[in-house]
Amino acid sequence: MAHLTRRRLIAAGGLGGAAILARGGTEAAGQHAHQDAGTDGPVHAGHEGSGHADFRDGRTVDHAANGFDPHELVRDFDWGRTTRMAGGRVLREWELVAIDREIEVAPGVRFAAWTYNGRIPGPTLRCREGERLRITFANASEHPHTIHFHGIHPSDMDGVPGQGAGQIGHGGKTVYEFDALPAGLHLYHCHVRPLAEHIAKGLYGAFIVDPRDGREDADELVMVMNGFDTNFDRANEVYAANTIPFAYMHRPIEVAHGELIRVYVVNVLEYDLINSLHLHGNLFDWYPTGTSPRAAEFTDTVMLCQGQRGIAEWRFSTPGRFMFHAHQSEFTELGWQGFFDVR
Ligand SMILES: [Cu+2]
């Protein structure tokens, strides 16, 4: 029996093949994909009647059933809640819960995900440089997890097994507490072994530390670049920014021309060594890790390994539709592309 690889999937018509895969199981999918690869017509899932699954044509997932929508996530920053400590310093707190949850990552493709707070990516935690941060982590998942933050903190707050509270089992709870340092764009993710699995299942999110003096006013967006291995062969079948492939093709991100746009870009993609972001019709200032006030580059394409991140800033000077996507064409074809609709 031919094994359905990612490249065969592409030959079979991209995500149509992925839907087949999810519905028919690996072996049947291999057969179908093989048959479909020889036809000129669109790929059909061959299941439940209509079954047209090439959702580049407009089909999408049930965002409401998933419990999160990439069109909302893209501008959703979670500032937690604050109180003042003795001396006046801000204490900022969040509660994160690890939850096992099946989500639809492409039309008809269900994925047994592990999430923080029921969404992928987890909440975009946002704070200001120098504040005290307190994150209460509860594990409602069947598997042990942690939260490992990037940034500066003591070793017992590092969220890795064997240090501090170590891995948190089902029903367990711990508190991570540290100072918000340094200003920049960071991330958090589970750090339990097998690490690739714990990340690829969906346990990650963006973590933004604003500089003490803030940044210039802008229309701010967050894009966590990810993908999903839906058939457990340690290769991704779908790619996206903020989880759902093609979401911003179907419903472009509306922005205003002339306005400063700031995108917090984080790459968490597992199994592929490199990911990238490319913008059409413009170039952007690129601030790697967001830690310096000076842009490192003025470009239209950046490449990032897993954990690498940065801030992109630019203005559109004319209205219209402008694409953004990975500049690995394979990732683009499998979902990692979208549009800005400049009004
Ligand atoms: Cu985990």
Using 50, 70 and 90 to split pLDDT, how confident is the model at 262? Answer: very high
Cα 167 to averaged position of ligand 1 atoms, centre (Å) = 8
Comparing 28 with 167, which gets the higher pLDDT? Answer: 167
Cα 129 to averaged position of ligand 1 atoms, centre (Å) = 27
pLDDT tens for 125-139 read 999 999 999 999 999
Cα 143 to averaged position of ligand 1 atoms, centre (Å) = 7
Cα 296 to averaged position of ligand 1 atoms, centre (Å) = 34
What are the residue boundaries of the structural domains of the chain, listed by start? 61-342
- ω into residue 319 within 30 of 0, thus cis? no
Of 11-20, 43-52, 263-272, the range with the lowest mean pLDDT is: 43-52
Cα 267 to averaged position of ligand 1 atoms, centre (Å) = 18
Task: Provide mean pLDDT across the span 299-307.
Answer: 98
Terminal Cα-to-Cα distance of the chain (whole angstroms)? 51
Instruction: Answer yes or no: is pLDDT of 185 > 50.
Output: yes
Cα 56 to averaged position of ligand 1 atoms, centre (Å) = 32
pLDDT tens for 57-116 read 667 899 999 999 999 999 999 999 999 999 999 999 999 999 999 999 999 999 999 999
Cα 115 to averaged position of ligand 1 atoms, centre (Å) = 9
Cα 26 to averaged position of ligand 1 atoms, centre (Å) = 26
pLDDT tens for 24-60 read 333 333 333 333 333 333 333 333 333 333 456 667 8
Q: With contact defined as beta carbons under 8 Å apart, do 327 and 278 qualify?
A: yes
Cα 263 to averaged position of ligand 1 atoms, centre (Å) = 27
Coil, strand or helix at 102: strand
Nearest to 319 by CA among 263, 252, 258: 258
Distance CA 319, CA 302 (A): 24
Contacts of 19 by beta carbon, 8 Å cutoff, 6+ apart: 45, 51, 53, 55, 106, 107, 108, 109
Cα 139 to averaged position of ligand 1 atoms, centre (Å) = 9
How many other C-beta atoms are found inside a 10 Å radius of the C-beta of residue 188?
A: 27
Cα 145 to averaged position of ligand 1 atoms, centre (Å) = 4
At the topology level, CATH places domain 61-342 in Immunoglobulin-like (2.60.40)
Cα 146 to averaged position of ligand 1 atoms, centre (Å) = 6
Cα 4 to averaged position of ligand 1 atoms, centre (Å) = 27
Cα 147 to averaged position of ligand 1 atoms, centre (Å) = 8
Contacts of 107 by beta carbon, 8 Å cutoff, 6+ apart: 15, 19, 53, 55, 59, 60, 61
Cα 169 to averaged position of ligand 1 atoms, centre (Å) = 10
CA–CA distances in Å: residue 16 to residues 52, 177, 325: 7, 45, 20
335: part of which helix (H) or strand (E)?
Answer: none
DSSP strands (E only) in the chain: 81-84, 90-106, 109-116, 125-128, 132-139, 148-149, 173-179, 184-189, 204-210, 219-228, 238-241, 253-255, 261-267, 275-279, 284-288, 297-299, 301-304, 309-314, 320-325, 337-342
pLDDT tens for 221-239 read 999 999 999 999 999 999 9
Cα 150 to averaged position of ligand 1 atoms, centre (Å) = 16
